[in-house]
Structure 1
Amino acid sequence: MKKRYIINIVLLAFIFSSCDKWLDVKPELDIYEETLFEKAQGYYIALNGVYIDMSGKNLYGKELTWGAVEAWGRSYSLNEKAHRPYLDVINFEYDKSEAKSIAASIWLDSYKVIAEANNLIQGLENDGEVKFKYGDVTKNMILAEAYAIRALMHFELLRIFAKAPIADNGGESAFIPYVTTYPSIVNPPVATKNILKYLIADLEKAKEWIKPFDTDVQYPGGKIFSYLNDSRVKLDNGAGEVLGVDEFFNYRANRLNYYAISQLLARVCLYAGENDKAFEHANEVINVVNKGTNFRFVAPGYIGDPMELSTIEPRLHSEILFAPYNSELSTWTEGYFSSSAKDWLLVLNDKSGIFSENADDVRLKAIPKNMVTKFSLEGREESDMIAAKSLEPVLRFPECYYIAAEAVFDKDRALAVEIFNKVVDARNNSVYNLKADVDKGTFMEALVKEYRREFLCEGQMVYVYKRLNLPLRENGTTVAHNGKLVMPVPDTEAGVQ
């Protein structure tokens, strides 16, 4: 089957130091699909290309993390002139041209990634000839990541463009298509509850496929995740180094690895109301973290004002399970999170309300003068600030504690409080003092406050309000959304292929 392949995959070819002649780029940048997938390196390049597209401005490089989705949750004090598109979004004026453009860009780029993932999946599932290093273990790892990418993008679309199940009789309405083939031309929308079932089933398969690669120490992922070090995540040293072929197996926290898929499964299950499954998958990650051998919370002394601390982890990279990597990210963020940003500066809204009575919370100390420093490059030690400048945090394991605590609360309140307090203690947050017999309303209020504190600029808060059908919080008051936390599907579905 011949097709015109995505150009960025061609451009990625240079990063491999020994690419052979298997990639014979045709004039006009045409590539035959069967040529691309003639050797294992073709699959490596194709998968890397999908991750790079996920890291773009319309997805995790901006709009799905610190950009539009974060603004949607009312995290910022917006400037009437500089932030007009985001003001239209938070005011639910989705018919305005710039708000429509944001929604359409997210839609189109998400389905583009889904199309690429489907093409890769089909090529891999139909290929019985290509030989991979580590054999089927590597093949299954690539397949698992492609399935997980497809699931993640569908889930993002679902959370943005569909009603939450709690406000839709469990998700009976159909808003978005669920696309599993390439090319795919006719794509009717599918009921939300059915899409959630498909996502859970696909992620469960992906989790089993990828488990050997990331948990068995005879394989690269197992070695990387078997002890505490920074090699699991690619940190930028400012040198723009070129990767070799074998480095495809490195930096597992930049990819949808076994633990990231576990967290994503927990997130999807909680959204679907599958609390037992949500607890199971989240608690698996918690048990690994609690052992202290594979992962760790960033120590309080490494979180705070970067102008005061000599060593700092502004993006908490030790806690990251999945973070796309884009070398252009800092050029996008500096216009919004630096002292030179001026009118464009994205200033935190309602800092006193978010952190209320706890002046010792280390996350509060990381927000001097209402400026979130997570994406700033300004600090006392420049090398610390630029180390993670290309990372886009999407999945960090503290969320597993919140998911597990909420999911188990109705069965075991004492356990829920114990799990919840792990994150509270890690952040020097002593404001709650929740008892083992705490009532659910009090517990959920504390949980919502923790989400607000923990995931600033990571694009998660609006989904908490939506999933729980809660009003938004702003400046000590609540703002009713009346079911309007649903962006309209773009006028064209041209991005669904």
Structure 2
Amino acid sequence: MKKYIILGLLSIGLYSCDSWLDVKSDQEVYEESMFEESRGYYTALNGLYILMSEGTLYGTNLSYGAMEAWSRSYDLDNGNLTTFTDLANLRYRNSGPTDLGKAIWLRCYKVIAEANNLIQNLEADKDVIFKYGDVTRNMVLGEAYAIRSLMHFEIVRIFTKAPVIDQGGVTATVPYVTEFPSHVNPPVPTKDILEFVIKELEAARELVKPFDLDDKYPGSISYQDRNVDRRLKLEVAGEITVNHANEEFFRYRADRLGYYPITQLLARVCLYAGDKDKAYEYANEIVEMVNTQTVYDFTAPGFIGNPEIAASTVHPRLHEEIIFGVYNSKLSDLTEYYFGKNVTTNRLRIKDPNDLFDNPNDVRLKAIVDRMPTKFSLAGSNEADMKRASTTVPVMRIPEAYYIAAECIFDKDKAKALEIFHKALEKRLNQVYNLPENVDKERFMDALVEEYRREFLCEGQLIYLYKRLNIPMRISGGVFVHDGKLVMPVPDTESGIE
């Protein structure tokens, strides 16, 4: 097993080529040995998650870093984070944003290339034996498809015009890549890429479904142990042992791109593409699952607050709600640069939390200390007591499903929309914002946007909300009009990977 781990790490760290998309996997050198057995596919799949967890993607840029700075959530007036300042002011051609865009672009396509390599090998290999046979084979294949789709979607959201200002996405800006190696890839209209991504995610969801939902297979064990009510009862009883699958690779399925995360990702993509009916269908499936506490649930209000005061009883990342997150064992080193207690010049501070959270009873306000978000600031806390706070980056959390479902059903069933929306407010002790039964669409959307701002602070999602709806960014004391310019330029196609 050590040999496969070493080969996997080599494939992540060493690569080069002469063209931006002619991405050759270093696994190609080792394919004869790496893909001989099922564990080689496991190593390759784990490698995709490792790539996504790096600072270039979700480890920093696609979460609390560049994407959040782009949405102007931070006070960047200190002038020490010029790349973020230029990005927030839409100065994309300055060197910082240019290099940033290139890094994100290349890393996304690197993950896509590695996913394509895994998919092609697995689809062609009919002899490799997996425990549980085709059920496990399909699970691995489904996850690889989902990862490939997620990376294409991130590229679309960052580097193309929003469908709302592009006739649904008619402009061809970025490629959609499904072959390895890939040499010629012309840009594809955004609407076509979104259609491909949705179809692929729907297929991926069916591929992973038996492994994750059927009690005969290990995926269901992880989801059973993800049940918040069960875990809290174990903690109260002084029992912290949970059941796991015997095989290490099959553990912690609930944190990977399994059935439920793919379902919520489908809701996110369908909404961005403008298909509200499908978006509601997928989002409401998550809402109904959460309402019955089958697996996930909202973090209890008493577990949201300041870890400097009560480290052992606070869950800064709201880990019960993370439906998909990435693991990075060095994450605290990355966050320390921006949020560390010994950092003064590079701190990322929220502009005006009291303006955003004008309800003092909102429990999320208690999780912001000195304009610092405790989601990623570990100052004054005991990391061991903060559960997953030191290693996990939330990519999707369940409140988003409630917001998507409420938005998508509002025009057809206002009462249902308000029921879903108010349920989320209740979980944050924020009922002061409950809307009247006769609320109009404009007032509802205004309240929804404000909830996105409060809920996903420092998670990199606000910029896509402003872009999808083509509305000005909301900042303390006013708005910032972007005129539809929330599109990072596609990097020079002649630039090589370095």
Aligned to 2:349: 347
Aligned to 1:375: 376
Q: How many residues align?
A: 467
User: Which piece of structure 1 moves more, 371-380 or 220-229?
Assistant: 220-229
8 Å contact kept, 1:269–1:277? yes
Instruction: Quote the Cα distance in structure 2 between the aligned partners of 1:301 and 1:437.
Output: 32
Aligned to 1:273: 274
Instruction: Quote the Cα distance in structure 2 between the aligned partners of 1:483 and 1:200.
Output: 24
Is 1:444 paired with 2:442?
no
- The Cα offsets for residues 247-272 of structure 1, whole Å up to 9 and x where unpaired, read as 11111233111100000000000001
- Deviation for aligned residue 1:354: 1.7
Structure 2 letter corresponding to 1:406: E
Alignment of 1:61-460 (within 5 A): 61-226=59-224, 228-229=226-227, 246-309=247-310, 310-356=312-358, 358-385=359-386, 387-460=388-461
1:187 match: secondary structure: coil
1:324 match: secondary structure: strand
Structure 2 letter corresponding to 1:489: V
Aligned to 1:238: none
With normalisation by structure 1, the TM-score equals 0.90
- The Cα offsets for residues 336-392 of structure 1, whole Å up to 9 and x where unpaired, read as 112211111100113133212x11000001002111010122345442236431101
Structure 1 letter corresponding to 2:274: G
CA 111–6 in structure 1, closer or farther in 2 if over 3 Å, else same: farther
1:88 match: secondary structure: helix
Instruction: Quote the Cα distance in structure 2 between the aligned partners of 1:258 and 1:228.
Output: 14
Instruction: Quote the Cα distance in structure 1 between the aligned partners of 2:116 and 2:333.
Output: 31
- Deviation for aligned residue 1:227: 5.0
Structure 2 letter corresponding to 1:363: R
Instruction: Quote the Cα distance in structure 1 between the aligned partners of 2:317 and 2:377.
Output: 10
CA 335–79 in structure 1, closer or farther in 2 if over 3 Å, else same: farther
- Deviation for aligned residue 1:146: 0.4
1:393 match: secondary structure: strand
8 Å contact kept, 1:93–1:99? yes
Aligned to 2:8: 9
User: Which piece of structure 1 moves more, 250-259 or 408-417?
Assistant: 250-259
Aligned to 2:473: 472
8 Å contact kept, 1:215–1:226? no
User: Which piece of structure 1 moves more, 52-61 or 332-341?
Assistant: 332-341
Instruction: Quote the Cα distance in structure 1 between the aligned partners of 2:323 and 2:118.
Output: 23
Structure 2 letter corresponding to 1:226: Q
CA 140–460 in structure 1, closer or farther in 2 if over 3 Å, else same: same
Structure 2 letter corresponding to 1:78: L
Structure 2 letter corresponding to 1:73: S
User: Which piece of structure 1 moves more, 216-225 or 64-73?
Assistant: 216-225
Aligned to 1:38: 36
8 Å contact kept, 1:50–1:113? yes
8 Å contact kept, 2:11–2:27? no
1:431 match: secondary structure: helix
8 Å contact kept, 2:336–2:377? yes
Instruction: Quote the Cα distance in structure 2 between the aligned partners of 1:75 and 1:464.
Output: 13
CA 393–204 in structure 1, closer or farther in 2 if over 3 Å, else same: same
1:487 match: secondary structure: coil
CA 228–95 in structure 1, closer or farther in 2 if over 3 Å, else same: closer
1:378 match: secondary structure: coil
Instruction: Quote the Cα distance in structure 2 between the aligned partners of 1:51 and 1:344.
Output: 28
8 Å contact kept, 1:320–1:395? yes
8 Å contact kept, 2:306–2:368? yes
Instruction: Quote the Cα distance in structure 1 between the aligned partners of 2:495 and 2:182.
Output: 11
Instruction: Quote the Cα distance in structure 1 between the aligned partners of 2:109 and 2:476.
Output: 36
Aligned CA-pair RMSD: 2.2
1:42 match: secondary structure: helix
Structure 2 letter corresponding to 1:46: A
- Deviation for aligned residue 1:35: 2.0
- The Cα offsets for residues 178-227 of structure 1, whole Å up to 9 and x where unpaired, read as 00100111111100011110000000000111111111111111122135
Instruction: Quote the Cα distance in structure 1 between the aligned partners of 2:217 and 2:356.
Output: 43
1:473 match: secondary structure: strand
8 Å contact kept, 1:114–1:179? yes
8 Å contact kept, 1:163–1:171? yes
Structure 1 gaps, min length 5: 14-27, 233-242
Instruction: Quote the Cα distance in structure 2 between the aligned partners of 1:12 and 1:431.
Output: 52
Structure 1 letter corresponding to 2:149: A
